[in-house]
């Protein structure tokens, strides 16, 4: 105990119990988001570096500000222990502040609290919102795929998928191998929800527990993977969706479409050999089509990859490259692709996200839709009404 009555060693506090206080505390957590920036001091005009982001320990997620952080790169997913942390309030919620008095060091997964599935409230999928933590869900595995990502200098395997219950489906990102299989029902506790492409995403890592359960009341995976056709207006009202189906007429093609070059690291489009993330790169050639689809209630962008573009166009990537050698202007190929697609009626199934530019559908399947002329005439007649 110090002379002013405060403990000489700060007490460790779980993030769910953090409250604004004048007494420094100790916390352990995983950095789930961060941004490095500089602030100009009013006193002398000098620039002062800081890190800001969100810290999670599985019980809650709290904003943090780290003044004068180390110059070394600090990555999302880093687990740290911070002693001598100040707690203030920001917009009615606690915020952690790391000052020059704060001692920050590495920590391991074993130092994080384990989630007790029985001590967390059960939530339905449609109730999940970004920043939610401290809950459990009982869901059916609809889809799971494996991919490798770079985290700093480390390569890690991430398992992307889709899980759902009777209330809906949600994207899943698992940073540990829970050996998930399509069709099985599981109870997940200790995960958290983040926003990804404007949609909620359930994230689980080594802190989470995944238990196989018997849940005959859950819909089958095939049922969860299907979606009835919706109008584009309905899709816009919903802000997208993980499993959607729309149908409409091709009315436009957005650049860049046709033959494009991609960054070998992030697959983003490369312009004049420059990736906006990785700078000067040797791009690899690819084929894509950014289709504008209209159904009379609204319009969406369909981001079709190489396989779908080849099937719709009837031209392979190799053929397109040969044409490009004969006619080096890529806009000519883009015009040919547009002429081949214009006016086609397509049915798209996949996932949809929304941003400032509208709805984009990331297709899993694209097929031509036959128009029922009799039904279309009846529908038009019903809209117009009887003649006098």
Strand partners, 349: 245, 365
Q: Could you give the number of structural domains in the chain?
A: 3
Do 248 and 337 fall within a single domain?
yes
SS3 of 53, please? Answer: strand
Contacts 24+ apart (CB under 8 A), 88-97: 88/20, 89/20, 90/63, 93/62, 93/63, 94/18, 94/19, 94/20, 94/62, 94/63, 95/62, 95/63, 95/64, 95/65, 96/18, 96/27, 96/55, 96/62, 96/63, 96/64, 96/65, 97/64, 97/65, 97/67
Q: Is 297 exposed, middle or buried (0-12, 13-18, 19+ CB in 10 A)?
A: middle
Owning domain of residue 324: 232-374
Do 101 and 186 fall within a single domain?
no
* Single pTM value for the model: 0.65
Do 126 and 169 fall within a single domain?
yes
In a domain, 196, yes or no: yes
| Helix spans in the chain (H) | 221-224, 232-238, 306-313, 317-326, 330-341, 373-384
In a domain, 95, yes or no: yes
240's CB contacts (< 8 A; 6+ apart) are: 197, 198, 199, 351, 352, 353, 354, 359
In our burial notation (b when 16+ CB lie closer than 10 A, e otherwise), range 318-334 reads eebeebbeeeeebeebb
203's CB contacts (< 8 A; 6+ apart) are: 32, 172, 173, 174, 175, 191, 192, 193, 194
Do 90 and 31 fall within a single domain?
yes
Strand partners, 124: none
pLDDT (tens digit, 0 to 9) for every residue of the chain, 388 residues total? 454 545 567 889 988 889 998 899 999 998 877 888 888 877 777 888 889 888 888 777 888 999 999 988 888 788 999 999 999 988 778 899 999 999 999 998 888 876 566 667 889 999 998 878 778 899 999 999 998 876 656 677 899 999 999 999 999 999 889 999 999 999 998 888 888 877 899 998 877 889 999 998 999 999 999 888 999 999 999 888 899 999 999 999 999 899 998 888 778 888 888 888 778 888 899 999 999 999 999 999 999 999 999 999 999 999 999 988 888 888 889 999 999 999 999 999 999 988 888 899 999 899 988 766 566 566 656 656 665 5
CATH number for the domain that contains residue 334? 2.40.50.140
């Amino acid at each position: 105990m110090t002379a002013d009555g405060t403990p000489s060693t700060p007490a460790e506090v779980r993030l769910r119990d953090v409250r604004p206080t004048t007494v420094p505390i100790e916390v352990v957590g995983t950095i789930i988001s961060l941004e490095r920036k500089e602030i100009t001091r009013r006193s002398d005009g000098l620039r002062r570096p800081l890190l800001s982001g969100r810290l999670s320990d599985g019980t809650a997620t709290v904003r943090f500000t780290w003044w004068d952080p180390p110059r070394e790169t600090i990555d999302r997913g880093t687990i740290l222990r911070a002693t001598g942390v100040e707690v203030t309030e920001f917009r009615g919620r606690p915020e952690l502040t790391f000052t020059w008095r704060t001692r920050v060091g590495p920590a391991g997964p074993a130092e994080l609290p384990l989630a007790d599935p029985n001590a967390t409230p059960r939530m339905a999928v449609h109730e999940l919102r970004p920043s939610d933590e401290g809950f459990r869900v009982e869901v059916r595995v609809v889809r799971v795929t494996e991919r490798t990502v770079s985290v700093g200098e480390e390569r890690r395997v991430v398992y992307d998928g889709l899980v759902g219950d009777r209330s809906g489906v949600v994207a899943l990102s698992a940073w540990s191998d829970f050996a998930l299989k399509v069709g099985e029902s599981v109870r997940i506790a200790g995960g958290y929800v983040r926003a990804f492409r404007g949609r909620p995403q359930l994230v689980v890592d080594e802190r989470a527990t995944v238990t196989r359960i018997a849940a005959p009341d859950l819909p089958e995976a095939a049922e969860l993977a299907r979606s009835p056709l919706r109008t584009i207006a309905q899709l816009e009202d919903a802000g997208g969706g993980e499993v959607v189906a729309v149908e409409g007429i091709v009315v436009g093609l957005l650049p860049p479409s046709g033959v494009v070059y991609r960054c070998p690291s992030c697959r983003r489009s490369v312009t004049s050999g420059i990736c906006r993330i990785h700078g000067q790169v040797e791009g690899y050639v690819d084929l894509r089509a950014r289709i504008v689809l209209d159904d009379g209630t609204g319009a969406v962008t369909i981001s079709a990859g190489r396989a779908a573009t080849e099937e719709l166009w009837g031209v392979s990537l190799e053929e397109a490259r040969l044409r490009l050698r004969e006619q080096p202007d890529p806009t000519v190929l883009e015009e040919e692709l547009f002429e081949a697609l214009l006016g086609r009626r397509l049915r798209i199934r996949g996932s949809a996200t929304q941003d400032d530019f509208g709805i984009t559908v990331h297709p899993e399947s694209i097929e031509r839709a036959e128009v029922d002329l009799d039904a279309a005439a009846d529908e038009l007649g019903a809209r117009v009404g009887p003649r006098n």
